[in-house]
Structure 1
Amino acid sequence: MKAAVLYATVSTTDAAPGKQSYAESRPLVAQELDQPTPRAGELGVSITYSSLCHSDLSVVDGSRVRPLPMALGHEAVGRVEEVGEGVADVSVGDHVVLVFVPSCGGCRACLSGRPALCHRAAEVNGSGDLLHGPALLRTPGGERINHHLGVSAFADYAVVARESVVVIDDDVPDTVAAMFGCAVLTGMGAVLNTAAVSPGQSVAVFGLGAVGLSAVMAARLAGAASVIAIDPNQGKHQLALDAGATAVGTPADAARLVADASGDGVDVAVEAVGSAGVITSCLELVTRGGAVVSVGLPHPSAQLTVPALQFAGAGKRLLGSYMGDAVPARDIPAYLGYWREGKLPVELLHSDTRPLSEINEGLDALASGQVVRRLFGA
């Protein structure tokens, strides 16, 4: 099998403009690995398309510390090629979306109906292992290669836990299905599950990547009366309008747009940037009793300092949302149903498709905001 492996983190943040790029430093190395065989409870999946997400970029630049070397990629669609012992509800040939939290079903979070926060999944995702056992990926020389979030989708093949896949209908286009395991699940879930937006409410979404745009779609789907989309990249504003936003602007426009739409603040603000500063701004822009949903992943060193009286004094809420508080087996089929009904224009997220050999160039395109979701075919 072939996979894109990260051996050392590389950041271009401090480089002079135009001096260094991921295309030049090439942190992801496409290489041959020994193809593993699924163990009990696991599946072998032929990857059709994977898509590049900021969570991948944050591992490459060191913002999210993961054990290296690691085969990256966590959002993908494919077909089942092998079925491990004990798996009775998935068959060879099944069309599957891969998800990055393989919930164990027995921990405190899973038993309380919040599988996105599975304790066991957090442990093995952090160590580079799989839910049902240690990492399987090896170089021909025997060096261990860690799994990324139980998926490692920048590859032509992946062994994953049964709990890492959701079987979908055969007729869903792969270019659509590829984005449901992270971007759509996370953005939609932040609005529908975490915030539980109601008809007539006002929503502001900060950050118009694939997750933020999915949140915009979800807000309109939920019946929000106003959906304000904020991003400094004006090239994404028309996409937000097409996704259902009622107003768009840069961060400098946010206070004015919120005042125009709702007077004293929006009911819900979704932070999909990964910035403590933006979370602070969101708290200032929600009304009394409003909620800020934190979806982005700030650097681990980032600290949040806000007036404490906003919470008890104004009833404001700050809600964390990991993977959109989703139950993938329930939510992915439901969201695909909205797509079938024409209520979820997920195609807007798909910027283009490239071969896996161009994955490093894709990092540059994502970091610069040129693309929303670039898909890669192995």
Structure 2
Amino acid sequence: MSRTVRGAVIDAIGGKWKVEDLDLAEPGPGEVRIKVMASGLCHSDDHLVTGDIPNALPMVGGHEGAGIVDAVGPGVRRLAVGDHVATAYLPACGRCRWCSQGMQYICDTGAGMENGFGLEGNPRFSRTSGQPIGAMQRLGTFADHLVTDESQAVKIDDDLPFDIACLVSCGVATGWGAAVNAAHVRPRETAMIIGAGGVGMNAVQGAHHAGAAYVVAVDPVDFKREQAMKLGATHAFASIAEAVPFVESVTNGQGADSAVITVGVVDGALIAEAFSAVRKEGRVALVSIGQNEPGIPISPLEIVTYAKTIRGVLFGNCNPTSDIPALLDYYKAGQLKLDELITARYTIDQINEAYVDMHAGKNLRGVLIHEH
């Protein structure tokens, strides 16, 4: 049996999102069906359109969601019908080497997500013609219902608004964790956040929460710099080149302790510029992706003699089962600003307009509200 749902599909690189009726399979063993109430409009979904993330198409977009469990498959143990949940855009088996060492964000079950099919290789979505459709990160929150493995749904408190909770599924956790878990921002340090969008704004909040003396936001968009100052940045500049003289003035010429790169699409030149802006033993946390390039123009001599590091960041190096609830607790305690991140709400029929707004720099985070 299947049910008909409504979702936004991308068919080809460079195309537009198409809203259509789709068939959704019933949940299988270990799977749950979620009635999606809200979905964040993340730049990662736009990478499907641009081809910056190599995924098989067609695909239902969306991975940043919150909703209500309305059906469970055989063997589901952690969730029940009626539970409010936020999605986790990476699965976590709890048994592999990585999960057992507290690194759920690189769980082995996250491999092979490019086709968007389930853990067992089964497509959850299909067109009414029978054509199988993948789901972004095995989720597809741009549909009003989805089926996913129970490890990709995290129970949340019933009193949390869905449009708030969905943000923690990706952008908030990724940005916050990039500063706290990957860049290891410490009290009294100077942290540069390069890119103040839906992810970078939360790196700003994470660095502020960690006690950085100076949180320097870098973004070419005036609106985003203004918002960064409201969310914990102490200073904001339009470019790294403009930020560096200030950073050097407050660090005795040494450079920033850390830099977090959260721009929408990155290139090697920007990574090199950020690397040069940090001090000896400085730390660069790279969140952003872009088209694969043959290399980054960084001198091995600088890496070795200054003992600097670059590390990749996936999901903020967070553990979704513990960190999603923790971040929402910070929100409820007034230590994490989430309401302020939402600059616009859209219906599913406005999804292409929403991404035009994102590219125009109008939004920190747009949120898709599903109608039921």
Q: Same fold (TM over 0.5)?
A: yes
2:175–2:202 contact (8 Å) kept in structure 1:
yes
Q: Per-residue deviation at 1:120?
A: 2.3
| Corresponding residue for residue 310 of structure 2 | 318
d(CA) in 2 for partners of 1:306 and 1:377? Answer: 43
The reply to whether residue 253 of structure 1 matches residue 242 of structure 2 is yes
d(CA) in 2 for partners of 1:301 and 1:129? Answer: 28
Structure 2 residue ranges without an equivalent (≥5): none
Q: Per-residue deviation at 1:223?
A: 0.6
| Corresponding residue for residue 119 of structure 2 | 131
| Corresponding residue for residue 10 of structure 2 | 6
CA deviation map 1:148-176 (0-9, x unaligned): 10110101100011010111001111221
| Corresponding residue for residue 184 of structure 2 | 196
d(CA) in 2 for partners of 1:280 and 1:106? Answer: 37
1:216–1:244 contact (8 Å) kept in structure 2:
yes
Once superposed, which parts of structure 1, at least 4 consecutive aligned residues long, lie more than 4 Å away? none
| Corresponding residue for residue 60 of structure 1 | 49
Equivalent position amino acid for 1:298 in 2 = G
Q: TM-score, normalised by structure 2?
A: 0.94
1:207 to 188, 195, 199: 195
Matches within 5 A, 1:80-119: 80-119=69-108
1:42–1:132 contact (8 Å) kept in structure 2:
no
| Corresponding residue for residue 19 of structure 1 | none
d(CA) in 1 for partners of 2:269 and 2:170? Answer: 24
RMSD over aligned CA atoms reads: 1.3
| Corresponding residue for residue 120 of structure 1 | 109
Structure 1 residue ranges without an equivalent (≥5): 11-24
CA deviation map 1:287-310 (0-9, x unaligned): 111100001112223631201112
1:104–1:121 contact (8 Å) kept in structure 2:
no
Equivalent pairs counted in the alignment come to 362
Taking a change above 3 Å as real, the CA distance of residues 302 and 156 of structure 1, as seen in their structure-2 partners, is: farther
| Corresponding residue for residue 367 of structure 1 | 359
Equivalent position amino acid for 1:96 in 2 = V
Q: Per-residue deviation at 1:132?
A: 4.1
| Corresponding residue for residue 150 of structure 2 | 162
Q: Which moved more, 1:90-99 or 1:189-198?
A: 189-198
1:348 to 340, 352, 355: 340
Equivalent position amino acid for 2:10 in 1 = L
Q: Per-residue deviation at 1:280?
A: 0.9
Q: TM-score, normalised by structure 1?
A: 0.93
CA deviation map 1:318-362 (0-9, x unaligned): 111111111011111111121112111122211111111010111
CA deviation map 1:233-277 (0-9, x unaligned): 111111101110000011041112212332311111001113222
d(CA) in 2 for partners of 1:328 and 1:136? Answer: 22
Q: Per-residue deviation at 1:143?
A: 0.5
SS at match of 2:295: coil
Matches within 5 A, 1:11-90: 27-90=16-79
Equivalent position amino acid for 1:184 in 2 = V
Q: Per-residue deviation at 1:8?
A: 1.0
Matched-pair identity in %? 33
d(CA) in 2 for partners of 1:358 and 1:261? Answer: 45
SS at match of 1:77: strand
d(CA) in 1 for partners of 2:123 and 2:182? Answer: 32
